[in-house]
A = this chain, B = another copy of it.
Amino acid sequence: MVDQIDGRGLGGGNSVEMAAIFAALSNPARIDILRHIACHNDCGCKDITDVLPLAQSTVSQHIKVLVEANILRTEAIHPRSRYVINEDVLKDLAEVTNTFLGSCCKETWC
């Protein structure tokens, strides 16, 4: 238990935070939801439910996970909720992921 590392910030994101984002992306339905939102403007829960083989409540729950992970933003327009991808977060995520994955064992983390 010496030289413990369990979760402290290294090279742009601690383990717990990184794992949380990856966890939000760790479900195929959520990947599909992100893709659908990315490809279709003004997209609500119903639109996604029409396209995925899942119940509306399940889709809503997946969306909640993505919102809580700050990957999606809600814009409650009119009667419906519209979801927008938080591009800033995804850019950061792409960078952190790149740093983490690409530079395997540079002095960055050590």
Residues from chain B with Cβ under 8 Å of A28 in the complex: 6-7, 15-16, 18-19
Interface SS of chain A: helix
Number of interface residues of A (CB under 8 A): 46
A77 sits at the interface (CB 8 A): no
Closest to A85 in B: B104
Given contacts A28-B6, A31-B15, A31-B18, contact A50 B1 (CB under 8 A): yes
Instruction: Mark contacts of A18-56 with chain B using CB atoms, 8 A cut-off: 1 yes-contact digit, 0 otherwise.
Output: 110011011111111011101100000000001111000
Can you list 24 pairs linking A and B with CB atoms under 8 Å apart? A3-B51, A4-B51, A4-B53, A5-B35, A7-B28, A10-B35, A15-B28, A15-B35, A16-B28, A18-B31, A19-B27, A22-B22, A22-B23, A22-B25, A22-B26, A23-B23, A23-B27, A25-B26, A35-B109, A38-B109, A85-B104, A87-B104, A94-B101, A97-B101
